[in-house]
Amino acid sequence: MENAIRISCSRHNLKVVRDFVSSYLAAYGLSDLQLNQIILAVDEVVANLIIHANHEDESQFLDLRVMMEKQVFEIEIEDDSKSSYQPSLYKEPDLQEHIRVGKKGGVGMTLVNRIMDRVEFTTTGTHNVCRLYKRIG
Amino acid sequence: MKINQQTTENTLTLSLDGELDASSSVLLDTELTKPEVLDYKKVLIDCQRLNYISSAGLGVFISHLQRFQDANVKLVFFNMQEKVHNVFEILGLDALMTIVPSEAEATAI
């Protein structure tokens, strides 16, 4: 079973990532709802890294590695973008306000934070690693 | 992602087929941005074949909702799969948007 992939920074690869996570988790008997939530959380982080951090530059790559330990699913997503996500700047969105002003973005990390048990971003030099953890079952 | 359209005098129905993510949501945004969409009293979104939605897809609906309300056009979702409805619920969007179980109920609104 594949537990690592490398993708170029194109939003067309989001489907590739979702299929990768889905096929890895297929052996664990998750409910449709939980499987969809985990796939969604990964998709949101990867979309942010492709679109915002790497500006859809297809010469740049993301490395993804998944693992399961003691019923905890973990995924590591690594890239070398110059801009790294700052979790300390995260603000809960005001959806009524988003609707009022017609705002398109800004709710992806809310989904990630609400779905996953733990979300970590670390940067060493220009190397960024995002780790997402979710207890399953 | 495919979007099929059906129209009656007052209603535009968009049937979404596939996965609505940061790549495919551009297509939906283009459809909803067309000025003639506001000529209808209701825009119904048939979600029966919508297998996946991410924040980019939600964002398209969020960004058009006020414009629809200002034009007195109702936006109604129906036939939504549980896992897709769950994504609306996680954000609390199910309380801010009109989601009904069936086409009959969507038509009756």
Separation between Cα atoms, residue B66 and residue B93, nearest integer Å: 14
The rounded average pLDDT for each run of 10 residues, N- to C-terminus, in chain B (109 residues) is: 95 98 96 96 98 98 97 98 98 96 95
Locate the chain B residue with the closest alpha carbon to A107: B55
Banded pLDDT at A1 (limits 50, 70, 90): low
Structural domains in chain B plus CATH codes: 2-108 (3.30.750.24)
Domains and CATH numbers, chain A: 4-135 (3.30.565.10)
Secondary structure of residue A73 in the 3-state scheme? strand
Residue A137 pLDDT > 80: no
Task: Supply the pTM of this predicted model.
Answer: 0.95
Q: What's the number of CA atoms in the CB half-sphere (13 Å) around residue B53?
A: 27
Q: What is the ipTM of this complex?
A: 0.94
DSSP for residue B34: S
**% of chain B surpassing 70 pLDDT:** 100
Q: What is the mean pLDDT of chain B?
A: 97
Contact A124, B90 (CB under 8 A): no
Q: Give the closest residue to B58 by CA, choosing from B50, A117, B41, A90.
A: B50
Using DSSP's 3-state secondary structure scheme, residue A114 falls into: helix
Asked if B81 and B47 touch (Cβ cutoff 8 Å), the reply is yes
Decide the pairing of beta strands B11-20 and B42-53: parallel
- Cα dihedral A35, B64, A108, A67 sign: positive
Question: What residue spans of B6-108 are helical by DSSP H?
Answer: 25-33, 55-70, 82-91, 103-108
Chain B residues near residue A36 by CB distance under 8 angstroms: 52, 83, 86-87
Counting other chains too, the contacts that A63-67 makes at CB distance below 8 Å and 24 or more residues apart are A63/A4, A63/A5, A63/A6, A64/A4, A64/A5, A64/A6, A64/A7, A64/A17, A64/A20, A65/A3, A65/A4, A66/A3, A66/A4, A66/A20, A66/A21, A66/A24, A67/A3
CA-nearest residue to B52 within chain A is A36
Residue B18 carries which side chain, given as an amino acid letter?
G
Give CA–CA dist A23/A26, Å, rounded: 5
The mean predicted confidence, pLDDT, of chain A is 94
CB within 8 Å: B66 and A99: yes
Q: Which residues in chain B touch residue A47, judged by CB atoms under 8 angstroms apart?
A: 21-22, 54-56
Task: Output the six-digit token pair for A134.
Answer: 């979710």
Mean local confidence (pLDDT), A52-66: 96
Residue B66, number of CB atoms within 10 A of its CB: 16
Residue A48, amino acid:
N
Size of interface A-B (CB pairs under 8 A): 93
Whether B22 contacts chain A with CB within 8 A: yes
Comparison of pLDDT for A2 and A39, the residue scoring more: A39
Task: Confirm or reject contact between A102 and chain B (CB < 8 A).
Answer: yes
